Structure formats: C-alpha cells, structure tokens
Amino acid sequence: MRTLGERKLLFFFTLICLLLLPVIPGQANAGDPTEQVKQTIEKVREIFKDKNLKKPENREKRDELLREVVGKRLDFEEISKRSLARHWRKLTAEQRKEFVSLFSDLLETTYLNKIERSQEEDIEKHEEDKVLYQGERIEGRYASVKTTIVTYKGTEIPVEYRLIKEDGEWKAYDIVIEGVSLVSNYRSQFNRIIHSESYDELVKKLREKTIKEE
Amino acid sequence: MKKVDLELAVGFFLLLGILSLAYISIKLGRLELIGGGGYPLYAEFTQAGGIKEGSVVEIAGVQIGRVKSVRLSDYEALVEFTINENVKIQEDAIASIKTKGLIGEKFVQISPGASEEMIPPGGKIRDTESAIDIEELLSKYAFGEV
C-alpha cells in the first residue's frame, strides 16, 4: 500500500505528463509551414557551421546528418510520383517503391556530390548567406513558402518550397529555384527517356548514375 | 445584255472578297462568335511576361486552349485559360510559361501529372513556373561577381 502522499505525487506526475503530451509534439511540428521550413534550413546551417563536422574524416558523418535532416522535410514519394507523372500510374506497388528509393538516392548523391566537390573555404563563405522568408500561402493541405537567399556576394536567388501536409508535418514535394521547378525538370527528362526508350531503361540509367557517383 | 453579265460577275467577286475578308478577320482576331467551347481554368504566376489574351495553351506541343485574360491579383499575375472541353487536367499538373524558340512568342505549357483527381472547371492549377527572364539571369551570373 502506498501512502496518501505518494499517491498524490503519482497522480500529479501523471497529470503533468498528460498535459505535456499534446504540447511536445505540438512544438515539434510547430504549426505553420514557414516555421517548419525555417527549422530545417537552420538545422542544415548548423551542420555546416559545426567545427567538428568540418574535418575531412567526419565528412561521411556530416553527409549522414544532412541526409537525415533534409530527408525528413522532403516527401520523396510525392516527388517521385509527380516527376514520373502519367507513367507512375502504370507501375505496380513494388515498382513504385523501387523507383522512390532509386530517385531519392539520385537526388541525395547529386546534391551531396556537389557539396563534396566544392572547397571547404567556399562553403565557409556561404555561412554568411542570408535567407529571407517572404511569406507563405496555405490552400487546404497544400502550402508554398517563398524565400530568397542572399549570398555573401549579394546575389539574390529566389527559392520557393511547395509543401503538402502529412500528419501535421509540412513536407516539400517540389522546390522552385529561380523560377525553375525541380519536379518539372525531371518530369520532362523522364518523359523523354520513357518515350524514346522505356521505363526499364530509365531505371537502369538511374541505377548506373547512383552507383557511378558514389 | 453583255454589260449586265459583267456587272453581275464583278458584284459576285466583290461579295466573295468581302466574305473572305470577314472570315480572315474572325480567324486572325480569334473572335469566338459561337461562344467557343471549353471550360475556364486559372493559374497564378509571379511573372507572366509575354503572355497575353489569345496566347496558346499546349500539352505536348498540341494546342488545347487559349489564354482568356491576364490580370493582377495580389501583385501576382492571375491568368485565365479556356481549355477544350475534352481535355481534362490533373490536379498535380504544372503550368509553365515557355518561349517558342529562343526569342519567339510566349505560350503556356501544361505538363500532365499523376493524380487521379482532375481539376474541375473554374479550378486552379496550383503548380506554376513563371517566365524566365534570361536577361536578368545573365546579368546575375555574368556580372554578379563583385
């Protein structure tokens, strides 16, 4: 038998836990799209600023961290679906799964290689870059967040994130840089390859590309 | 008697000329006398440079409609299209403003999406790509280094 004091303590403890419960996840997906995009961008910038991760031997660890942080904010299935467009409907569930993993690998390696190839000093210079948040628009489960990156040189690059809401999290399904959409770019490329060759050929190409780049 | 025949022939050809002129002006002016088939769709662009009333809307290079109007809404360009009745557009389609050739006229290209949902008449194409300002891009990357 517990004493009354102990019981009261236990009761209060559970009560506090219950009260906190909705607050903690609520903070994690803190409401609006801009806030969530900002969180991810800030996390990425922190990774690049981390002195420890800058060491060449920690490159892989940094890549891993970047992959995790950015991957969480991207909806790879939606990106793949939209990039394949009409051809997506003809695929079986298994093929879709395979394609999503191949395409996300391709995107990851393409961008990580770009970082790999640039000099550490150049990356450091870009720590001075500013990101301006220029408003958001929400329409049902879709939203867009407009930002402008002002580089240390003063060049302005408009970047728009197009987001879809999934379980309270806003996830990007397209990124429009300087007016050029990522999905639209891959959509026309994939369409061309599938038409002139075949879907299998496209998968083969993606596979070769991810292996070669690694 | 012969004179009457001549006048009749002249009158006939004149009438033919007027009719062809009317036909050409309706065709060229893209006048839709019978109201024109098709349903309306909207899209918003941050930069609609070069798109005007009558601009062509294409899918895969095939004309499927025309731009009905371009107006300003919340400092963005709101473009209204008239899309042919028999063409349905997926909810995740992308509307981009493209240029014919390097310096040709501007047109709207729609790339179909994967969604099962179709945009109802009067709906909006959410994803758009605005006209790319080549001059601005050039100046940004060619002269950007200070």
pLDDT digits (tens, 9 = 90+) for B113-142: 988 889 999 999 999 998 877 777 777 777
User: Closest to A184 (Cβ–Cβ): which among B47, B114, B129?
Assistant: B129
- Residue A17 token pair: 């836990």
Chain A positions touching B112 (Cβ under 8 A) are 85-86
Chain A positions touching B92 (Cβ under 8 A) are 81-82, 85
Cut 0.90: pTM above it: no
Torsional class of B97: left (φ above 0), alpha (ψ -120 to 50), beta (otherwise)? beta
User: Closest to A84 (Cβ–Cβ): which among B96, B114, B131?
Assistant: B114
Predicted confidence band at B10 (pLDDT cuts at 50, 70, 90)? very high
Q: Measured between CB atoms, does A155 come within 8 Å of chain B?
A: yes
Give Dmax (Cα) for chain B: 88
Note whether B111 contacts A85, CB cutoff 8 Å: yes
Note whether A184 contacts B114, CB cutoff 8 Å: no
Task: Report the run of H or E that residue A71 belongs to, with start and end.
Answer: helix A59-73
pLDDT at A50: 87
Q: Looking at the DSSP assignment, which residues form a beta bridge with residue B81?
A: B41, B67
| Distances in whole angstroms, Cα of residue A62 to Cα of each of A44, A69, A82, A210, B54 | 10, 11, 29, 19, 52
Tens digit of pLDDT per residue, chain A (214 long)? 455 566 666 555 555 544 444 444 434 444 689 999 999 999 999 998 888 888 888 888 888 999 999 999 999 999 999 999 989 999 999 999 999 999 999 999 888 888 888 887 888 888 888 999 998 999 888 999 999 999 888 888 899 999 999 888 899 999 999 888 999 999 999 999 999 999 999 999 999 888 765 5
Evaluate whether A44 touches A70 at the Cβ level (below 8 Å): yes
Q: Tokens 């400092």 correspond to what residue? A: B75
Please compute the mean of the pLDDT values over residues B30-56 and round it to a whole number: 82
Q: Closest Cα of chain A to B54: distance in Å?
A: 23
Please, what's the b/e burial string for B79-102 (b: 16 or more CB within 10 A of its CB; e: otherwise)?
Answer: bbbbbbeeeebbbbbbbbbeeeee
Q: Closest Cα of chain A to B80: distance in Å?
A: 19
